[in-house]
Amino acid sequence: MIAFGLVFQLPIVVVFLTQLGLLSSRLLVRYFRHAVVLIFVLAAVLTPTTDPLSLLFMVLPMLLLYGLSILAAKGVELRHA
């Protein structure tokens, strides 16, 4: 449960880093494939069992939150422009 709680902080961290100028939506889109691999590896480490269903239940929200983070970063960039 702690892992799921930490994962849901991703958009907040991305918005903060975008406001500081350390991250951009273009960078997030450019490294999307790398992020997918990292998300799968992280989900495999964080899930307590070895079944693929629990891995999928961890990966899908993380991918959705990554997509929402890209949109949030674009919103911050538009607001600053």
Instruction: Convert the pLDDT of each residue in 23-72 to its tens digit.
Output: 999 999 999 999 999 999 998 988 888 889 989 988 999 999 999 999 99
Q: What is the pLDDT of residue 4?
A: 78
Ramachandran quadrant class, 51 (left: phi over 0; alpha: psi -120 to 50; beta: rest): beta
Check: CB of residue 64 under 8 Å from CB of residue 7. Answer: no
Q: Do you know the residue count of the chain?
A: 81
The confidence score (pLDDT) of residue 7 equals 81
pLDDT at 79: 93
Does position 80 have pLDDT exceeding 80, yes or no? yes
